A and B are shown apart, each in its own frame.
Chain A
Amino acid sequence: MTQKMAVDYDTMIPNNVGLSSDRRVLKALERWHPGYIKWWGNLGPVGFQESKVYLRTAVSVDSKGWAKFDYVKMPEYRWGILLAPQVEGRTIACGEHYGEPAWQEVPGEYRSMLRRLIVIQGDTEPASVEQQRFLGKTAPSQYDMRNLFQVNVEEGRHLWAMVYLLQKYFGSDGREEANEMLRRQSGSAETPRMLGAFNEETPDWLSFFMFTYFTDRDGKMQLEALAQSGFDPLSRSCRFMLTEEAHHMFVGETGVGRTIQRTCEAMNEAGISDPYDVEKVRALGVIDLPTIQKKLNLHYTLSLDLFGSEVSTNAANAFNAGIKGRYQEIKIDDDHQLNNATYAASQFIDGKITSMDVPALTAINMRLRDDYSKDALGGVKRWNQIISKANIEFELKLPHSGFHRKIGVFDHAPITPDGRVVTWDEWEKSRDEWLPSKADGDFIQSLMKPEWEPGKYANWIAPPRVGIDNKPGDFEYVQLHMA
């Protein structure tokens, strides 16, 4: 029997997990709720809490109508707890319990491991809202502003999803962890967010697009891996989160694409064919392609770090325990236990980049990272297509996985974007050719002027091809409320 898909809007917290008959968890969440709202008010989007935003809200989790569009003030957004439908007879997808029925309760032996995975995933969600809180003020259009806020409220909902699991299945330490989520703060010196990439402010819109393309894609891969979990409530949470995550990928891929498109258009209008004539291109008020490549280099490599060490016993344990699988685990044709399998893991030994076959079980992180890189390549191909359609000779590339790394075998190795090992002196000397310099950042910042009139777009970015929810070009996505 499939369980009822409709979402219960009777309780303060919309949900499809039967909260109204689960008084203990409902109470715990209702106690957590005011703190969350306070957090949203203090650290959520600055300056637009009173504006009405045309947002998508999930009203059911089945394929049709899982989202409705309407104007809503962000603090009044119906954050809720939505799990994908339970699959009858689902079994554990990997590890030593492969084939056994999926767990509906937390297995005691894996309790702390599971809690840690959920806490790490949960911590990234509010972190990105905090990182992006000032961006609304420089939105290049109403359309983009609306997309930013949609991403923000959904990250908020993803926090709810993880907090529900903590409150429901982890007793008093779960409650404690749920409170910690609101105590840590992106960029704080005393109580920073758990992962490095989530402690930097997102300073401008190109960074935001790169972040949603590259860093949210790490989120997607992690969610994909957790969706394979033998702990069924986690799997179901993550499966529904993935449907929302897709919108974030969309914002990133099309945001970078529209930036590139506008640059190419402006170059052609001005008769500039050399993409490296940075000064001339910048004089047009658009972002030159070499700078876009540098931003790509930065965000891609920061995101690679989020996958952790290539060879990791933690990851092996989680896989073996059946609580975190590989990307699309159930579609992989092998024993799902990796008893004798090997995997080629990167090595950096004596200043040389090589690879070595290691037990596949230990290389789970590396494999997920490889799947990520392949996934990330898709958008880069589309971006290059925009450039070649405009007859400009330039190609964006993903840098070598050893470039600009802080974690794993390439940690602080002097490797260039095309994978050459150089001396640190040489590396430092060329740094500004590969990564955004302060001057690059200042230039991008200088373009960040708000354009809030419906249907208008800042000069540095092209309009989208279709509106959200098929709305016309000059649709008022945000009814601004300026106190």
Chain B
Amino acid sequence: MAEPLKQHLIDPEYCIRCYTCEETCPLEAITHNDDNVVIDASLCNLCMDCILPCPTGSIDNWRVVAKPYSLEDQFGWMELPDQEDLKSAGEQNGAPVEALDDAVAALLKESHKGSGPVAVPSSASKPTINLRNLANPLEAQIQGNFRLTSADADSDVRHIIINLGDATFPVLEGQSVGIVPPGTDEYGKPHLPRLYSVSSPRDGERPNVNNLSLTVKREEFGLCSNYLCDLKKGDKINLTGPFGASFLMPDDPQAKLLMICTGTGSAPFRAFTMRRQRVLPNVERALKLFFGARTSDSLPYFGPLKKIPDSFLEKHFAFSRIEGKKKSYVQDELRLASDAIGNALKDPQTYIYICGMKAMEEGVESALNEIALNANLDWQLLRNKMREDGRYHVETY
């Protein structure tokens, strides 16, 4: 049986037949009759060139199909057909498609395991995925590479800014990019890409600058992390992606975010926070951050974070290696804030994001369980509900 296919379609009810997409398509995959503008599935390579110029959003429709709809089918439509029930599509059916190449999809699946069968926040912006792949990576330039941790800290964490030049590479907060380390593996094949979560908001480090940033920790013997941490201003680098379609922030101004991270897991939360600062700077008491590291010296972005007023971003730091002090982990900080977290769990506008080392999951999970219990909530039921609503997300590695 043929593999199910992701087909790009135009919503005929909402399209205004301006043919901007048709003019834009580099492959001439788009055509029209008197009634509808349609896409030839055999020609479309999902390059997404047509998405942004569409004035209506009708272009941004997708169906997973066993057999693609023909042009004649599409010419005759008055409205889009529902997603057919594709039992054979297995796990893919209904779940967000996070990447189109298998290697990256597998990486993301592993890192999102803790999320369970997760839905996307209903008000999240639509992500672009797989604009660039291994066959066609984007060559970008290093704009800056700054050490975030103090010189005598035991970890070397870098803030790396990558200039995208004239290229279009729309990345949403929470999405990742793929980096291919140069060289080949022991079998002479190119290395597989590594995924890094972007730490800048969608419109760049500064508004409307076409760049993005990554937060990278140098790992001993780490092939890709050492490659990245050693890059200098002006060096060229190959990017793939963007990837990820579920670990996204809601655009809903009512949404409240509870962000829990360790180390470089802070990258997406830096992006989330900056996005909120830019679009909803006056919404207070909507963001909570629980952030764990060994010491304040080794906590990425410790300085800038402290400058954000608590009314905008409520910060709880947990340090596990401060001499003469008891070890504290993020779960301990969560417990200390038990009442507030309990209230947050009751609030249907609360979104939970957990990002960092795999090892943190268990501790956080048990703390949330305990807090829920104290608030007379059934954590298992609540978590399932939150997953269904796209309000519970885990990305760990």
Which A residues have a C-beta under 8 Å from some C-beta of B? 4-6, 59-60, 62-68, 70-71, 220, 242-243, 245-247, 249-250, 253-254, 374-375, 377-379, 381-382, 385, 465-466, 469-472, 474-476
A64 near B170 with CB under 8 A, answer yes
Q: Does B50 contact A (CB under 8 A)?
A: yes
Q: Does B333 contact A (CB under 8 A)?
A: no
**Inside 8 A of A60's CB, which chain B residues have their CB?**
166
Contact string, B47-70, partner A, CB cutoff 8 A, digits 1/0? 011101101110000000000000
B53 near A243 with CB under 8 A, answer yes
**In the bound complex, CA of A242 to CA of B13 (Å):** 22
Which one of A66, A70, A243, A375 contacts B203 once the chains associate, using CB atoms below 8 Å? Answer: A70
**In the bound complex, CA of A466 to CA of B15 (Å):** 12
Which one of B35, B52, B170, B250 contacts A66 once the chains associate, using CB atoms below 8 Å? Answer: B52
Q: Does B337 contact A (CB under 8 A)?
A: no
Nearest CB of B to A225, in Å: 15
**In the bound complex, CA of A374 to CA of B35 (Å):** 10
Binding stretch for chain A, among B16-24, B100-108, B320-328? B16-24
Q: Does B73 contact A (CB under 8 A)?
A: no
A4 near B166 with CB under 8 A, answer yes
Q: Does B146 contact A (CB under 8 A)?
A: no
Contact string, B334-348, partner A, CB cutoff 8 A, digits 1/0? 000000000000000
Which one of B18, B125, B208 contacts A470 once the chains associate, using CB atoms below 8 Å? Answer: B125
Nearest CB of A to B27, in Å: 12
Given A71-B279, A378-B17, 12 new contacts (CB under 8 A): A63-B24, A63-B52, A64-B48, A64-B168, A68-B203, A250-B56, A375-B17, A378-B16, A385-B13, A472-B123, A472-B251, A474-B252
Nearest CB of A to B297, in Å: 36
A475 near B251 with CB under 8 A, answer yes
B24 near A250 with CB under 8 A, answer no
**Inside 8 A of B166's CB, which chain A residues have their CB?**
4-6, 60, 62
**Inside 8 A of A378's CB, which chain B residues have their CB?**
16-17, 34-35
Q: Does B253 contact A (CB under 8 A)?
A: yes
**Inside 8 A of B279's CB, which chain A residues have their CB?**
71
**In the complex where A65-B170, A243-B53 touch, is A70 in contact with B208 (Cβ < 8 A)?**
yes
B14 near A465 with CB under 8 A, answer yes
* A68, closest chain B residue (CB): B208
**In the bound complex, CA of A379 to CA of B49 (Å):** 25
* B54, closest chain A residue (CB): A246
**In the bound complex, CA of A66 to CA of B17 (Å):** 20
B18 near A250 with CB under 8 A, answer yes
**In the bound complex, CA of A67 to CA of B279 (Å):** 17
**In the bound complex, CA of A245 to CA of B57 (Å):** 15
**Inside 8 A of B234's CB, which chain A residues have their CB?**
none
**In the bound complex, CA of A242 to CA of B279 (Å):** 29
A472 near B208 with CB under 8 A, answer no
* B125, closest chain A residue (CB): A470
Q: Which 10 A-B pairs have the closest CB atoms?
A: A64-B168, A246-B18, A472-B123, A247-B55, A250-B55, A65-B168, A246-B55, A63-B49, A63-B24, A472-B252
A382 near B13 with CB under 8 A, answer yes
What are 26 A-B residue pairs whose CB atoms fall within 8 Å in the complex? Answer: A63-B49, A63-B52, A63-B53, A64-B48, A64-B170, A65-B170, A66-B52, A66-B53, A67-B52, A67-B53, A70-B203, A246-B20, A249-B18, A249-B55, A254-B14, A377-B34, A378-B17, A378-B35, A465-B14, A466-B14, A470-B125, A470-B251, A472-B250, A472-B253, A475-B251, A476-B253
Nearest CB of A to B66, in Å: 28
B163-207 contacts to A, CB under 8 A, are: 166, 168, 170, 203, 207
Which has the most chain A C-beta neighbours within 10 Å: B16, B35, B126, B168? B16
A243 near B20 with CB under 8 A, answer yes
Nearest CB of A to B63, in Å: 17
Q: Does B78 contact A (CB under 8 A)?
A: yes
A249 near B16 with CB under 8 A, answer yes
**Inside 8 A of A68's CB, which chain B residues have their CB?**
203, 208
A64 near B251 with CB under 8 A, answer no
Nearest CB of A to B86, in Å: 25
Nearest CB of A to B355, in Å: 24
* B131, closest chain A residue (CB): A64
**In the complex where A62-B168, A65-B170 touch, is A253 in contact with B16 (Cβ < 8 A)?**
yes
Contact string, B1-28, partner A, CB cutoff 8 A, digits 1/0? 0000000000001101110100010000
Nearest CB of B to A410, in Å: 25
**Inside 8 A of A59's CB, which chain B residues have their CB?**
208
B251 near A63 with CB under 8 A, answer no
Nearest CB of B to A471, in Å: 6
**In the complex where A250-B18, A465-B14 touch, is A374 in contact with B56 (Cβ < 8 A)?**
no
Which one of A64, A466, A471 contacts B52 once the chains associate, using CB atoms below 8 Å? Answer: A64
**In the bound complex, CA of A59 to CA of B167 (Å):** 12
A475 near B253 with CB under 8 A, answer yes
A470 near B126 with CB under 8 A, answer yes
**Inside 8 A of B18's CB, which chain A residues have their CB?**
220, 245-246, 249-250
Contact string, B245-258, partner A, CB cutoff 8 A, digits 1/0? 00000111110000
**In the bound complex, CA of A469 to CA of B48 (Å):** 16
* B250, closest chain A residue (CB): A472
* A213, closest chain B residue (CB): B16
* B210, closest chain A residue (CB): A65
**Inside 8 A of B50's CB, which chain A residues have their CB?**
63
**Inside 8 A of A476's CB, which chain B residues have their CB?**
253
**Inside 8 A of A466's CB, which chain B residues have their CB?**
14, 57
**In the bound complex, CA of A74 to CA of B341 (Å):** 42
**In the bound complex, CA of A211 to CA of B169 (Å):** 36
* A328, closest chain B residue (CB): B19
**In the bound complex, CA of A471 to CA of B35 (Å):** 28
**In the bound complex, CA of A476 to CA of B252 (Å):** 10
* B123, closest chain A residue (CB): A472
Which has the most chain A C-beta neighbours within 10 Å: B53, B168, B208? B53
**In the bound complex, CA of A474 to CA of B253 (Å):** 8
**Inside 8 A of B126's CB, which chain A residues have their CB?**
470
Nearest CB of B to A267, in Å: 20
**In the bound complex, CA of A99 to CA of B55 (Å):** 34
**In the bound complex, CA of A242 to CA of B250 (Å):** 32
**Inside 8 A of B49's CB, which chain A residues have their CB?**
63-64
Nearest CB of A to B34, in Å: 7
**In the bound complex, CA of A63 to CA of B25 (Å):** 9
A250 near B16 with CB under 8 A, answer yes
**In the bound complex, CA of A242 to CA of B22 (Å):** 13
Which has the most chain A C-beta neighbours within 10 Å: B18, B20, B208? B18
* A84, closest chain B residue (CB): B23
**In the bound complex, CA of A242 to CA of B53 (Å):** 11
**In the bound complex, CA of A64 to CA of B53 (Å):** 7
Nearest CB of B to A454, in Å: 8
